[in-house]
Amino acid sequence: MIHVERLTKRFGALTAVDQVSFEVETGESVALWGANGAGKTTILRCLLGLYHYEGEVRIAGHDIRTQGREARRLLGFVPQELSFHENMRVANTLVFYARLKKASYIPDELLDRLDLRPHLHKQVRELSGGLKQRLALALALIGDPPLLLFDEPTANLDVRARDDFMHLLHDLKAAGKTLVYTSHRLEEIATLADRVLLLESGRLVADATPHRLAETIGHTLLLRVYVAPHQKMQALDVLQAKGFTASVNSHGIKIFIPALQKTTVLETLLRADIEVRDFSLEWALHE
Amino acid sequence: MFDWENVSLIVQKEMRDALQNRWFLIFALMFTTLTVGFAWLGVVGARGQGLAGFGRTAATLINLVLLIVPLMALTLGAMSLASEREQGSLAYLMAYPIGHGELLLGKFIGLAAVLCATLATGFGIGALVLAWGGSNGNVRAYAMMVLVAMLLTIGMAAVGILISVFSRRVATAVGASIFTWLLFVFIGDLGVLGTAFVRTLPLRSLFMLTILNPLQVFKLSAIMAVQSNLDVLGPAGLYAMRTYGTHLSFLLVAILTAWTLIPLTLSYTAFKQRDTI
């Protein structure tokens, strides 16, 4: 489905993607994984033809440079930053992009499955983050494209919306769609990806199954815990007193832990009467 | 292959966006108010002066167009791609099966259409006011003036879009468009005057330098439409009339058309060669 050969993208003196080559077979689910600035989003943008690049990118045999329109007709894209035309109504947005894709209709089951029907009359700016993400997915699925590209699809969602969205992605995978996505979240990579492409400073350093990759790079995890602001310092003290390597930033608390201890952190906080509002897990790459 | 359905979709979206753009609404309201206001003042002040009254109103409207219309077209053109790029919607749009040329042409046609509709509304109401005041001015001349004003608007929108292609931020695009407007309105004239003064240019060179500026081309075309000659411009006008005669109108219209086609071609080339975001 996707053929990438010696893909290189430079921004002035910076080489954001450096000689990256990979293939994605039809029906495969492939995660692009790496730290911020590793080149994940740049690769997706090259696949979409949004950047000029060196090397070769083909989607279903179509060269993105010369047959970009044909290639883009075969794919749906969900960006990280949802940048629709905010003053358009949801129904008009669906019709506008469906017409660009030459889709003759928007399937009823798509609107029902994504729970968009009650919101069709609203302006896009009125939608919550979760609903915007659903709208983005609906737009990506219009015309039933075989390939779906996702850029950090759950980055801006709360726990519940993230779970719902992941269920949808699993269904799409089961339906035989080819998925290529970037993610920081361990659970999204471990459960959804058939293969993980690990990127570091624009270079492809590993291409393996999630299980095999975990063995290769070790089992240290980065756990981010989100508590009430007034309990943040108390939580830090409790965790450090228990011997965890923890630090706070404006968003929450970062704790580096062995994979088997992730529940210990949560138990420690709950025993100290600290309410855990949310948490996320990532493989620790550089720490 | 060029997909006209995509162009049509973008045209409709651009027109809808313009009607929700407060800058466009402010410009349109200001232009219409001033046009109608000047027409009404012309009627009141020229009672009993017949054609002379119409000529004075037309001259006022020409100056109004020279000041406001390029600013409106340049600014809105410059914002068209830059604002979508800044919001991120340009990258999302270009992830769909649409070509660079289709998007650019759709944006240009949509913008040109709403700008021309604004001119038609302002001048249309102005004409009604003149007719209501009993002005017996030349309808054909008035219509010709409106048409060349539209040509100028379309050209300035094309220049605005060229600015937009090179601008990553709306603030940069607006700044560049205001500088370009100043260049056309003031600095261009002063440059020609200064060069003529310092280097004692022959009339031919002076005329050639003048018609490089699309605003001057509009002014010449509009005066030609209203008065059928350029005597009011002095020696340079006489030179132009004597040298080009009846072809002068065609030459001026061709120059205004070139001010649309050349920026659009450059915009397409640059848009295609640059990264979308």
User: Minimal Cα distance from A151: which residue of B?
Assistant: B92
**Phi/psi of residue B15, nearest 5 degrees:** -65, -40
Give the separation between CA B277 and CA B268, rounded to whole angstroms. Answer: 15
Interface of B with A in 11-40 (CB under 8 A): 13, 17, 20
Pick from B261, B262, B256, B247: nearest CA to B65: B256
CB–CB contact A99 B5 (8 Å): yes
Question: In chain A, pLDDT over 70 holds for what percent of residues?
Answer: 95
Residue A186 has pLDDT above 90, yes or no: no
User: Minimal Cα distance from B3: which residue of A?
Assistant: A100
CB–CB contact B273 A102 (8 Å): no
pLDDT in tens, B171-190: 999 999 999 999 888 876 76
**Residues contacting B148, CB < 8 A, separation 6+:** B218, B221, B222, B225, B252, B253, B256
E runs forming strands in B126-277: none
CB–CB contact B88 A50 (8 Å): no
The confidence score (pLDDT) of residue B237 equals 72
Question: In chain A, pLDDT over 90 holds for what percent of residues?
Answer: 39
**Predicted TM-score (pTM) of this structure:** 0.82
Place of tokens 């080339």: B269
How does DSSP classify residue A49? T
For an interface test with A, the pick among B25, B90, B275, B277 (most A C-beta atoms closer than 10 Å) comes out as B275
The confidence score (pLDDT) of residue A217 equals 67
CB B214 within 8 A of CB B155: yes
CB A213 within 8 A of CB A198: yes
**Residues contacting B11, CB < 8 A, separation 6+:** B106, B109, B110, B113
pLDDT in tens, B55-112: 677 778 888 888 899 999 999 999 999 999 988 889 999 999 999 999 999 999 999 9
Given A48, A84, A87, which is nearest B95 (Cβ)? A48
CB-CB neighbors (< 8 A) of A79 in chain B: 88, 91-92, 95
Residue A42 has pLDDT above 90, yes or no: yes
Ramachandran assignment for B213, one of left (phi > 0), alpha (psi -120 to 50 degrees), beta (any other): beta
Distances in whole angstroms, Cα of residue B217 to Cα of each of B56, B148, B156, B214, B248: 20, 9, 12, 5, 11
The confidence score (pLDDT) of residue A63 equals 94
Helix (H, G, I), strand (E, B) or coil at A163: helix
**Computed from CA positions of residues B130, B132, B134, B137, in that sequence, does the dihedral angle turn out positive or negative?**
positive
At position A24, the amino acid (one-letter code) is V
Which two tokens mark A93? Answer: 């947005």
Give the separation between CA A36 and CA A155, rounded to whole angstroms. Answer: 13
The confidence score (pLDDT) of residue B234 equals 67
Residue A42: its H or E element: helix A40-47
Higher pLDDT, A152 or A81: A152
pLDDT in tens, A62-104: 999 999 999 999 999 998 877 777 788 999 999 999 999 998 7
Distances in whole angstroms, Cα of residue B222 to Cα of each of B45, B58, B158, B183: 22, 9, 21, 21
The confidence score (pLDDT) of residue B118 equals 92
The confidence score (pLDDT) of residue B117 equals 93
User: Minimal Cα distance from A145: which residue of B?
Assistant: B96
The confidence score (pLDDT) of residue A200 equals 86
Q: Which span out of B42-51, B217-226, B260-269 was modeled with the highest average pLDDT?
A: B260-269
The confidence score (pLDDT) of residue A178 equals 94
Residue B15 has pLDDT above 50, yes or no: yes
pLDDT in tens, B242-256: 777 778 888 889 999
Give the separation between CA A181 and CA A159, rounded to whole angstroms. Answer: 19
pLDDT in tens, A195-240: 999 888 899 988 888 877 766 666 677 888 998 888 888 999 999 8
Interface membership of B95 toward A (CB under 8 Å): yes
Residue A146 has pLDDT above 60, yes or no: yes
The confidence score (pLDDT) of residue B173 equals 95
**Computed from CA positions of residues B69, B71, B72, B78, in that sequence, does the dihedral angle turn out positive or negative?**
positive
Classify the complex by whether its ipTM is higher than 0.85, answering yes or no.
no
**What number of helices (H) and strands (E) belong to chain A?**
10, 14
Region A260-280: mean pLDDT is 84
Residue A287 has pLDDT above 60, yes or no: no
Which two tokens mark B28? Answer: 């349109």
